[in-house]
C-alpha cells in the first residue's frame, strides 16, 4: 500500500492532517501553532521561544519531570522548536503509542501552568542559550544579516530574543500571549506513520474537548520595503564571517521552485559553483554555501563564507562574480539537470523519516492551506528552465540590490 493523505477540520477550527504509511512501525505527532517571533512586539522579543521552553515545566495533568518521561519511557522522544512564523511541539514513538504522543503534545499546547518559580529559572537557561549563539560567530552573523534585511521589523529580530527582553517576562505576559495566539483556528495537528486517520481525528476531538478559546485573529505586520545596507561589526574572533544576500519573495510565489533550483546551483553542496570556485579553486575558506529563507509573504537568498580577514573583500568579489554569471548566462542543460536531481533526491531522501513527513504536513498546511503530494513537487522541479533560473538571478542580483553583514576580527 502507498502512503495516503487525509485532512479534517474540526468544528472548533483545529485542523487534523495525517499521512498513513502502512510499511513503518512508528508514528510522528506534531502540534503546530501558527505563531512565531514575527508575531511579537519589540517588548515581547523572544516570548514565543520562551513559551516553547516553559510548557515543558508543567501542565495541569503532570509535573515537569514527568513530561519527557511520557515518551522516553516507551522508547520515543519529545521536543519542540520555534521559527519566525510557527511553533511546533512534537513526539515520535512506536505506532502503538499514538495516543500517548497525541495526549502529550496537546497537553503542552492547551494545559501549561507556567509556574512563576520555573519562569525565573528558565530565564537564566535562555540567557545562557543566547550567549551560546553569540559565542558562535558563524551563527551570530545571521542575526546581523536579518536585521539588515528587515530593519525595525519582527522578521529582523532574533527568534530567541535578547537578555533584556527575556528577563522582563512575567507569568501574566506569557499567559496573555498564549490566550491571544494558542487558539483553535491557529492549531494544526499533523501525524505521519502507521496510523488510521479516523483514529487520529477521534482522539484529537476527545483531547481537545475543552479547548474552546475563541478565535482572536492577529494581523501580521507586512514586511517593509527593502533598502540594501552593509553592516560590519568587530569581535574578538580569529576568522571573518560574511553573509551577502538580498530579499526575494514569499512561499506562495510561483517562482519558489525556481529559487530552490537556483540556490542548489549556486551553493547547495560540494559540487556547487561557490564551493568549486572559491574553496576548491582558491582554498580561501572551509565553509561557503548559499541558502534560502522563505516566510509566508517574504524571503531572501544569501551566501555565507568564513574566511581570513585579509580575504574578505576578495571573497566578496568572487561571490558577486558568481552571482553575475548566473544573471548573465543561462546554465547548461547538464548543470540544470544535475541540480534538479540533487534537489529531488534531497527531498525524497528526507521523507525516509516519519518526523520529516510530519513536519512537511504541518508546514504545508500552515503556509498553503492544502495538501501537496511529492509527485506535485517533483513536477514543479522538472518544469524549471535554465532561462527561468537566469531571469530570476538577473532580478534578484541586479546592481545595488545586495546587502551584507560581516563579523570581523578586532585589530585586523
Active-site amino acid positions: 52
For residue 307, what is its C-alpha cell?
Answer: 574566511
Query: How remote is the C-alpha of 47 from its chain's centroid?
Result: 17
Nearest to 302 by CA among 253, 262, 341, 329: 262
Q: Which residues pair with 292 in a beta bridge?
A: 301
Q: Which residue has the cell 510499511?
A: 23
At 27, phi and psi to the nearest 5? -145, 140
Contact 300, 149 (CB under 8 A): yes
Q: Which residue has 520515543 as its cell numbers?
A: 76
Whether residue 108 contacts residue 90, with contact meaning beta carbons closer than 8 Å, is answered with: no
> Half-sphere exposure of 184 toward its Cβ, with a 13 Å CA cutoff?
17
Q: What gap in Å lies between CA 55 and CA 58, rounded to an integer?
A: 6
Phi-psi sector, 411: left (phi>0), alpha (psi -120 to 50), beta: left
Q: Facing residues of 299 across strands?
A: 294
**How many Cα atoms sit within 13 Å of 346 on the Cβ side?**
11
Q: What distance in Å separates the CA atoms of residue 168 and residue 157, rounded to the nearest whole number?
A: 17
Query: Torsions phi, psi of 144, nearest 5?
Result: -70, -35
Asked if 293 and 299 count as a contact pair (C-beta separation under 8 A), the reply is: yes
Amino acid at each position: 500500500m502507498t502512503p495516503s493523505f487525509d485532512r479534517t477540520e474540526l468544528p472548533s477550527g483545529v485542523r487534523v492532517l495525517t499521512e498513513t504509511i502502512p510499511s513503518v512501525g512508528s508514528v510522528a505527532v506534531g502540534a503546530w501553532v501558527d505563531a512565531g517571533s514575527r508575531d511579537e512586539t519589540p517588548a515581547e522579543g523572544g516570548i514565543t521561544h520562551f513559551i516553547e521552553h516553559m510548557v515543558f515545566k508543567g501542565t495541569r495533568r503532570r509535573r515537569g519531570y514527568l513530561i519527557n518521561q511520557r515518551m522516553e519511557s516507551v522508547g520515543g522522544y519529545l521536543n519542540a522548536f520555534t521559527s519566525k512564523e510557527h511553533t511546533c511541539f512534537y513526539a515520535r514513538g512506536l505506532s502503538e503509542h499514538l495516543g500517548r504522543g497525541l495526549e502529550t503534545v496537546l497537553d503542552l499546547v492547551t494545559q501549561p501552568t507556567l509556574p512563576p518559580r520555573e519562569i525565573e529559572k528558565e530565564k537564566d537557561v535562555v540567557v545562557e542559550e543566547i550567549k551560546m549563539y553569540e559565542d558562535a560567530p558563524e551563527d551570530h552573523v545571521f542575526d546581523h544579516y536579518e536585521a539588515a534585511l528587515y530593519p525595525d521589523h519582527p522578521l529582523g529580530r532574533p527568534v530567541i530574543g535578547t537578555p533584556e527582553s527575556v528577563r522582563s517576562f512575567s507569568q501574566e505576559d506569557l499567559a496573555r500571549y498564549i490566550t491571544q495566539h494558542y487558539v483553535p483556528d491557529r492549531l494544526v495537528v499533523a501525524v505521519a506513520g502507521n496510523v488510521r486517520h479516523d483514529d487520529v481525528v477521534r482522539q484529537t476531538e476527545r483531547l481537545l474537548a475543552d479547548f474552546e478559546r475563541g478565535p482572536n485573529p492577529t494581523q501580521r505586520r507586512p514586511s517593509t520595503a527593502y533598502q540594501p545596507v552593509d553592516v560590519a561589526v568587530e569581535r574578538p574572533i580569529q576568522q571573518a564571517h560574511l553573509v551577502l544576500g538580498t530579499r526575494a519573495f514569499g512561499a506562495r510565489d510561483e517562482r519558489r521552485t525556481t529559487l530552490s533550483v537556483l540556490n542548489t546551483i549556486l551553493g547547495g553542496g560540494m559540487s556547487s559553483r561557490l564551493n568549486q570556485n572559491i574553496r576548491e579553486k582558491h582554498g580561501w575558506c572551509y565553509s561557503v554555501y548559499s541558502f534560502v529563507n522563505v516566510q509566508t509573504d517574504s524571503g531572501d537568498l544569501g551566501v555565507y563564507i568564513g574566511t581570513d580577514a585579509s580575504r574578505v573583500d576578495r571573497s566578496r568579489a568572487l561571490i558577486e562574480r558568481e552571482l553575475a554569471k548566473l544573471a548573465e548566462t543561462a546554465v547548461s542543460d547538464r548543470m540544470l539537470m544535475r541540480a534538479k536531481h540533487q534537489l529531488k533526491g534531497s527531498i525524497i531522501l528526507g521523507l525516509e523519516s516519519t518526523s520529516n513527513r510530519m513536519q512537511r504536513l504541518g508546514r504545508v498546511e500552515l503556509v498553503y492551506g492544502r495538501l501537496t503530494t511529492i509527485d506535485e513537487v517533483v513536477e514543479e522541479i522538472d518544469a524549471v528552465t535554465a532561462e527561468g533560473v537566469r531571469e530570476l538571478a538577473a532580478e534578484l542580483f541586479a546592481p545595488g540590490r545586495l546587502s551584507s553583514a560581516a563579523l570581523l576580527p578586532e585589530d585586523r
